[in-house]
A and B are shown apart, each in its own frame.
Chain A
Amino acid sequence: MDTQVTKKKLGLKERYKLLTRDLGWETTFHSREEVFPYVHYEGIKIHDWDKWEDPFRLTMDAYWKYQAEKERKFYAIIDAHAQNNGHLNLTDAHYLTAIKIFLQAITPGEYCAHKGFARVGREFGGVGTQVACQMQSLDEVRHAQTQIHAMSNYNKFYQGFHAFSDQRDRIWYTSVARSFFDDALSSGPFEFMIAIGFSFEYVLTNLLFVPFMSGAAYNGDMATVTFGFSAQSDEARHMTLGLECIKFMLEQDPANLPIVQKWIDKWFWRGLRILALVGTMMDYMLPKRVMSWKEAFDIYGIENGGALFNDLARYGVRAPKGWGDAAAAIDHMSHQLMLGLYQWSFGTAFHGWIPSDDEMEWLSAKYPDSFDKYYRPRWEHIKKLAAAGTPFKNYGLAKLCQTCQLPCVFTEPGDPTLICHREIDYKGEKYHFCSDGCKEIFENEPEKYIQAWLPMPQLFQEPLKGDLGAWMNYVSLVDGQDNGDFDGSQDQINFDKWRGMATSNK
């Protein structure tokens, strides 16, 4: 550590004031309205921007110092990982599926967050908010870069890492995360803060990163632990920015409450849908598991989210509308989506597999109310079909939800045997939804969501016109290499061979 400091002349509060708030000025050449034109149209009323303060009181000089320290730590470990064949320390190569999904779906989201915070940092009218958003914008581009850099080492040896940016734009399951961020980026500045700063950072990133990074550590993936922790060290600041912004809006004017509440409802539900992917990673893809998705949701969703909404109740905020449906879905979400990913594995840039007996035991223990009753029988059936040489593959295309873009594979709240499906007619077209939550989001802003780019309709449009082979080229998916079963894949064969070479003299 080179951060040893002698007693400072100025205290934290004074330094924050001088190096942040006092950087602002009153505009004279143009009116404030002309300089900050986007802070009014969403209906949020702000009377005093100076009331917003970063509780960490981080100033730019300290920011650069600590971020540089984080980068040095990060690259020291990434270099060691690459130099020492760190990829052979993984528990098993099918673990890499989780990392591929992360790179294809989540890392591009970091880049979107970077763009979004750069924009809102310019659009907000208060200096404290501007500086904090600017820091977060820099953090997010760092996250995107360090993640791509860390995972590029796996790209030297394994399939499915080579075209993440094409896949982010074009393949189907990544469009879940893509549409979440596109939706946030095309919102006004205050809604963006609720979407990313509050719902994503405060309510959801704990569920995304904390158990996942702990899981990476458990599975010998030094590269991911390193980028994860390096990114996560910024996360406490991001969460705090999100929470402070929401309190700021609520304190500034009571008329802001109904607008804010509507955004909380919307963005909680959108975030929960992204987390369905994370649930499959935690419950199915880590060879050695830290905790189940359900356990993580109990700690970081129910308990921590509950504490947060109790705290905000003094402003009149209630828990998000979909809170109850979410709690009911937790026993089922990861299983239902994983069954989907398995049967559509021809179209995924990662491999599928049937959980082993050992893994199914673990799932029974973690999901006593649902796994044996609803999901084990299906996996057993799938296993029988695979053993008979007639594996269960679905070459039909999934019906996607117009809002969250997940395939409609989830069940009715209260009946795990009945697929939940909602539809509405809008201006002569039919739109499909996976849930009441997603349908309501559409109904509130139909003109936004009818413009959504959906991967399945794309397949039937120019230039693909329904040609599956052409689609694979279009999404940069090499058939028989990136997709299909893990058993017999190059990833499996190479990992076993190289690990054998690394641990013996053969």
Chain B
Amino acid sequence: MSTVFIALQANEETRAIIEAIVLDNPEAIVKREPAMVKINAPGRLVVNRETIESIVGRSFDLQEMHIHLITLSGNVDETDDSLTLTWNN
């Protein structure tokens, strides 16, 4: 199965996002590199709004992620509740 990934800037705002990704994707592997954090997962990775909100304690718009994104890999689907990355193989 191909690896999907998302990379975010290492900063205060993304700590909660990364924490949420780890909670919701048990197979995700977090790699901390200078100034950035890259998260790999086999085939599929999902970012859930509710999980982030439960960590930051405020409402969170998933599109805020655009400010911190560095790169990603996989087919994207974004709704109000989640951002999903997938490879179909």
B66 / chain A contacts, CB cutoff of 8 Å? 56, 58, 66, 233, 236-237
A304 / chain B contacts, CB cutoff of 8 Å? 3, 5, 73
A55 / chain B contacts, CB cutoff of 8 Å? 75-78
Which residue of B has the minimal Cβ distance to A62?
B63
Q: Mark B1-42, 1 if CB is under 8 A from A, else 0.
A: 011110101000100000000000000000001111000000
Give the contact stretch, choosing among A7-15, A21-29, A191-199. A7-15
B68 / chain A contacts, CB cutoff of 8 Å? 233
Check B67–A308 contact: CB distance below 8 A.
no
Check A239–B87 contact: CB distance below 8 A.
no
A69 / chain B contacts, CB cutoff of 8 Å? 67
Which residue of A has the minimal Cβ distance to B69?
A236
Question: Could you tell me the distance in whole angstroms from the C-beta of A19 to the nearest C-beta in chain B?
Answer: 13
Which residue of B has the minimal Cβ distance to A63?
B66
Distance in angstroms between the alpha carbons of A307 and B3 in the assembled complex = 7
Check B35–A213 contact: CB distance below 8 A.
yes
- A76 CB–B CB distance under 8 Å: no
Check B3–A4 contact: CB distance below 8 A.
no
B33 / chain A contacts, CB cutoff of 8 Å? 214, 290
Distance in angstroms between the alpha carbons of A307 and B44 in the assembled complex = 12
Check A225–B35 contact: CB distance below 8 A.
yes
Of A210, A217, A229, the most chain B CB neighbours within 10 A belong to A229
Query: How many residues of A are counted as interface, with CB atoms below 8 angstroms from the partner's CB atoms?
Result: 48
Distance in angstroms between the alpha carbons of A57 and B3 in the assembled complex = 24
Check A311–B89 contact: CB distance below 8 A.
yes
Distance in angstroms between the alpha carbons of A311 and B9 in the assembled complex = 27
Check B70–A233 contact: CB distance below 8 A.
yes
Of B5, B35, B36, B87, the most chain A CB neighbours within 10 A belong to B35
- A218 CB–B CB distance under 8 Å: yes
Distance in angstroms between the alpha carbons of A66 and B66 in the assembled complex = 7
Which residue of B has the minimal Cβ distance to A55?
B76
Check A236–B59 contact: CB distance below 8 A.
no
In chain A, residues 359-380, which have Cβ atoms closer than 8 Å to a Cβ of chain B?
Answer: none
> Which secondary structure dominates where chain A touches chain B?
helix
Check B67–A210 contact: CB distance below 8 A.
no
Distance in angstroms between the alpha carbons of A7 and B66 in the assembled complex = 19
Check B3–A1 contact: CB distance below 8 A.
no
A239 / chain B contacts, CB cutoff of 8 Å? 71-72
A210 / chain B contacts, CB cutoff of 8 Å? 7, 36, 70-71
Distance in angstroms between the alpha carbons of A224 and B36 in the assembled complex = 14
In chain A, residues 1-51, which have Cβ atoms closer than 8 Å to a Cβ of chain B?
Answer: 1, 3-8, 11-13
Q: A4-B59, A66-B64, A233-B69 are in contact. Are A13 and B79 (CB under 8 A)?
A: yes
Check A311–B75 contact: CB distance below 8 A.
yes
Q: A4-B58, A213-B36, A214-B36 are in contact. Are A73 and B75 (CB under 8 A)?
A: no
- A405 CB–B CB distance under 8 Å: no
Check A229–B70 contact: CB distance below 8 A.
yes
Check A6–B75 contact: CB distance below 8 A.
no
Distance in angstroms between the alpha carbons of A213 and B13 in the assembled complex = 19
B76 / chain A contacts, CB cutoff of 8 Å? 55-56, 240
Distance in angstroms between the alpha carbons of A23 and B34 in the assembled complex = 42
Distance in angstroms between the alpha carbons of A89 and B21 in the assembled complex = 34
- A306 CB–B CB distance under 8 Å: yes
Check A233–B67 contact: CB distance below 8 A.
yes
Which residue of A has the minimal Cβ distance to B78?
A56
B75 / chain A contacts, CB cutoff of 8 Å? 55, 243, 311
Q: Mark A208-237, 1 if CB is under 8 A from B, else 0.
A: 011001110110000001000100110111
Per a CB cutoff under 8 Å, which of A4, A6, A218, A235 touches B71? A235
Check B35–A232 contact: CB distance below 8 A.
no
Question: Could you tell me the distance in whole angstroms from the C-beta of A431 to the nearest C-beta in chain B?
Answer: 37
- A314 CB–B CB distance under 8 Å: yes
Spell out A's residues near B (CB within 8 Å). 1, 3-8, 11-13, 55-58, 62, 66, 69-70, 73, 205-206, 209-210, 213-215, 217-218, 225, 229, 232-233, 235-237, 239-240, 243, 290, 303-304, 306-308, 310-311, 313-314
Given A11-B79, A205-B71, A232-B71: 12 more A-B contacts, CB < 8 Å: A12-B78, A56-B78, A66-B63, A213-B35, A229-B9, A232-B69, A232-B70, A290-B33, A307-B87, A311-B75, A311-B88, A313-B89
Spell out B's residues near A (CB within 8 Å). 2-5, 7, 9, 13, 33-36, 58-59, 61, 63-64, 66-80, 87-89
Instruction: Pull 27 A–B residue pairs with CB atoms less than 8 Å apart, ordered by A.
Output: A7-B59, A8-B80, A12-B78, A55-B76, A58-B66, A62-B63, A66-B67, A70-B67, A209-B71, A210-B71, A213-B70, A214-B33, A229-B35, A233-B67, A233-B68, A235-B70, A236-B70, A237-B66, A240-B72, A290-B33, A304-B73, A307-B4, A308-B73, A310-B87, A311-B2, A311-B89, A313-B89
